[in-house]
Chain A
């Protein structure tokens, strides 16, 4: 019998609070990364051409960058507060792993960012054009390096590598810094996340430019046209790169988090020659009956595409939810144990851990200690499963994974088409965005396209947040894949306290967001 002493609602509130604060944090970060690239490009144009137009353009987008940067400052630190209060077991467990990346992030990246952002804003006409340009790029680079280390930490949660569990300290201790920092999972995650942030920057620039054109703002016309061109080029390249890196990420997920992929696809029963679901009816509000249904109803799928995505072979084996629960054998003979076996081995590991620590406290002899250690180490891979009470806990909430993945990919595809269309029209129909009086035939297309560009701004954020929903809901029940589930990670804390801070954050961040949007809109209306 398992003894759960904690308030079960505390788990849900702690998860909800972390999700809320992470989602809010991610409203500010991608625009920082995306705008940093675009303002760097524009200032490079100024440096090369010495044309004051580009200086004006760069300074305009830097102003909007600054608003978003200021609003985003310290929104991430709250997540670390939550580690220490709501997720104390997890925090202790990973402390040795997260310590280095987060320290480097703070010392190197943050100081780099904050030093050069001052030169970027204060240094016009005070430092050389070359030094100012370097400062602009280094501001963006600092922000991007910050992202690297945070994503290294998150990647480690999804696929823990470069570590060994120490039963004396109850911590995972880093055995290889390079394995952690350069984990293929981390590299894929970084590339995918940063390129998706560039999309947000591009959509924002194109959308704001579209507004100026719609309003026939003559003073901003040239700014809007040139910004739209640069934004569309960046957006098209970023969208294609995001698709490529997304494919790599999915391949990685298939290898190390097969249940996440199964949930993303609502793949209940797998096998060879698996098709990729374009759409199916998965009830958004309740877990499907994956044990009894063969597949999600009304399924439209691309033949063999999932096998190709997951295994890079046309006939590759992809396990479904039920296969992972029951255990399966890969074509190469590798056996993946059943959930029941993993849970049993996990319980053996926890019991051995407890016995080892008890024996050490009592001063037992080395042979006894070694015996317990041997049992622990031979089952350590399944330690986290020992906390699982029921196999169904191992299945993430499929509807969120399924629909969030489709929202992300759907918008991603739309962005590629949209940016390509913008560039094509700007190239082939030079007057496409001329004032309606001059170009009445195109005025309807003009106005619809420009409004669409504005509407895409929130869509880009929805796509970006959807990606995080897939990443984080898909790893449930794990805070650290296979090592520590949420039930073991959370502090033994009253749910009332967590609920209180949840609503405090909701109020604080909503106010922040309202302030940012207000200031941002005022500056956009003010123009250059």
Chain B
């Protein structure tokens, strides 16, 4: 029981640490806003709309090696 209470206490203290820290931020709020906007643009806009996984979208699952082999050998010497 004591052990569980101690763990909960640590978790609460860690939470308070971060909560107080974020609450007292001044410049940090601006920086976090910039980070959030940047992450949204990178992971939601760019990744989804502009950076699909090329092999996953062109090769059947489990056939990736065949796809890459064909891609590479077609760019090598042709008989």
The finding on whether chains A and B are genuine partners in a shared complex, rather than unrelated, reads yes
Residues of A within 8 A of B43 (CB): 74
The reply to whether the CB of B3 lies closer than 8 angstroms to some CB of chain A is no
The reply to whether A70 and B51 form a contact with Cβ atoms under 8 Å apart is no
> How far in angstroms is the closest Cβ of chain A from B57?
9
> How far in angstroms is the closest Cβ of chain B from A225?
25
The CA-CA distance from A502 to B53 in the complex, in Å, is 17
Question: Within the complex, which residue of B42, B54, B72 is in contact with A493, where a contact is CB–CB below 8 Å?
Answer: B54
Residues of B within 8 A of A126 (CB): 17, 20
The CA-CA distance from A4 to B74 in the complex, in Å, is 7
Proximity bits, B31-53, A CB within 8 Å = 1, else 0: 11011001101110011001111
> How far in angstroms is the closest Cβ of chain B from A31?
15
- A3-B74 contact in complex given A74-B38, A84-B53, A85-B51, C-beta closer than 8 Å: yes
How many of chain A's residues have a CB under 8 angstroms from any CB in B? 56
The reply to whether the CB of B69 lies closer than 8 angstroms to some CB of chain A is yes
Question: Which residues in window 331-359 of A have CB below 8 A to B?
Answer: 347, 350-351, 353-354, 357
Proximity bits, A113-125, B CB within 8 Å = 1, else 0: 0000010011100
The reply to whether the CB of A182 lies closer than 8 angstroms to some CB of chain B is no
How many of chain B's residues have a CB under 8 angstroms from any CB in A? 40
The reply to whether the CB of A438 lies closer than 8 angstroms to some CB of chain B is no
The reply to whether A81 and B65 form a contact with Cβ atoms under 8 Å apart is no
The reply to whether the CB of B73 lies closer than 8 angstroms to some CB of chain A is yes
Q: Which of B22, B30, B50, B69 has the most CB atoms of chain A within a 10 A radius of its CB? A: B69
Question: Which residues in window 11-41 of B have CB below 8 A to A?
Answer: 17-18, 20-22, 24, 27-28, 30-32, 34-35, 38-39, 41
Nearest residue, chain B, Cβ from A85:
B51
- A354-B73 contact in complex given A77-B42, A169-B65, A501-B46, C-beta closer than 8 Å: yes
The reply to whether the CB of B68 lies closer than 8 angstroms to some CB of chain A is yes
- A353-B54 contact in complex given A3-B78, A523-B27, C-beta closer than 8 Å: no
- A170-B41 contact in complex given A89-B72, A121-B21, A354-B73, C-beta closer than 8 Å: no
Chief secondary structure at chain A's binding surface: helix
Residues of A within 8 A of B41 (CB): 508
The reply to whether the CB of B64 lies closer than 8 angstroms to some CB of chain A is yes
The reply to whether B39 and A501 form a contact with Cβ atoms under 8 Å apart is no
The reply to whether B28 and A2 form a contact with Cβ atoms under 8 Å apart is no
The reply to whether A92 and B76 form a contact with Cβ atoms under 8 Å apart is no
The reply to whether the CB of A201 lies closer than 8 angstroms to some CB of chain B is no
The reply to whether the CB of A256 lies closer than 8 angstroms to some CB of chain B is no
The reply to whether the CB of B71 lies closer than 8 angstroms to some CB of chain A is yes
Question: Which residues in window 272-327 of A have CB below 8 A to B?
Answer: none
The CA-CA distance from A4 to B77 in the complex, in Å, is 10
Proximity bits, A158-173, B CB within 8 Å = 1, else 0: 0000000000111100
Which of A392-400, A440-448, A484-492 forms part of the interface with chain B? A484-492
Q: List 23 A-B contacts (CB under 8 A).
A: A67-B27, A70-B31, A73-B35, A74-B39, A74-B42, A74-B43, A81-B46, A85-B50, A85-B51, A85-B53, A88-B54, A89-B71, A123-B17, A170-B65, A350-B73, A351-B77, A353-B72, A354-B69, A387-B72, A487-B75, A504-B50, A512-B34, A519-B31
Residues of chain B whose beta carbon lies under 8 Å from any beta carbon of chain A: 17-18, 20-22, 24, 27-28, 30-32, 34-35, 38-39, 41-43, 46-47, 50-55, 64-66, 68-69, 71-79
Given contacts A347-B76, A347-B77, A351-B79, 5 further A-B contacts (CB under 8 A): A6-B75, A73-B38, A86-B54, A354-B76, A357-B73
